[in-house]
Amino acid sequence: MKLLITGGSGLIGSAIQKIHKSYNYEFIFLSSKDCNLEDFKETDILFNNIKPDYVIHLAACVGGLFKNLKYKVDMLEKNVMINNNVLKCSHKYNVKKVISCLSTCIFPDKTSYPINENMLHNGPPHNSNNAYAYAKRLLEIQSIAYQEQYNKNFICVIPTNIYGPNDNFSLEDGHCIPSLIHRCYIAKREGTPFKVLGTGKPLRQFIYSEDLAILILWVLEKYNKRDSIILSVNKEDEVSINDIVKQISISYDYDNIKYDKSYSDGQYKKTADNNKLRKIYGKLKFTKIDEGIKNTVDWFIKNYDGCRK
């Protein structure tokens, strides 16, 4: 059975690569170098050549808070094109199951907490990432449309904030943890303050990439429903950005920290409810945040010259 992973060289794709030998599939890890998924003709040729039985759709135009604010047209249009092409070709070539990856950051800005799967479309997302959010929400709507019109097994998973080795550690476009890891690396090397943008007060749930990889493959093999499911650490595992900064500084043994409070914090919290997952999956074991950050810092230092940054 052929399993195509779009975004196969990214954060989650790399985590699946690390564990894939434990699973009985012919894994095909697709990177942007192999195919421009924004182009339908290229995508169609790829699917025709591979004819995958299953697809885990991870490819996306992604970034942190400041990329979402600065490049809204890109975040909207590129993601809409990628998602449309992947689902359209999955339908055309009779893919048995497609798992598409959303994010809890696309939930409504004004909502009650914790958020669950039924609340995704209950209001507009936070203005800081609305373009990306609407593109991802449309991916769920399109998946459901294929279910209803063609009886396709196209579903979505909704992870919380992901971190780990092989992330994009860009200072400008990276997500919170990898950007902070890179920033602290430079600060220690140059003997300057470890600069943190914002107050550090926002709260987030972070899931280690390898934990998420295990859960996504569980969804492929064991999750038989067709409604979306949140893949998240527990509510009590929510931490502040301040907590993350402290763990990174401990990993580097460098505590010269300076907050620049002139920068936006973005949404204060996005607490997700993983009750649905826990009821079906059973007892969940997650990598502790201090262990995960230490692993990621160590990987970044070791791979500094060649990693995405």
**279 close to 230: Cβ distance less than 8 angstroms:** no
**CA angle in degrees (0–180, nearest 5) for 133-207-19:** 110
What is the bridge-based pairing of β-strands 239-240 and 203-204?
Answer: antiparallel
**256 close to 215: Cβ distance less than 8 angstroms:** no
Q: What gap in Å lies between CA 69 and CA 96, rounded to an integer?
A: 37
Q: How many helices (H) and strands (E) does the chain have?
A: 10, 12
**CA angle in degrees (0–180, nearest 5) for 258-264-270:** 105
| 54 is a catalytic site residue | no
Residue written as token pair 């920290």: 257
Which of 25, 71, 113, 132 is labelled catalytic?
A: 132
Burial class (CB in 10 A: 0-12, 13-18, 19+), 265: middle
Q: What gap in Å lies between CA 32 and CA 185, rounded to an integer?
A: 28
Catalytic amino acids?
132
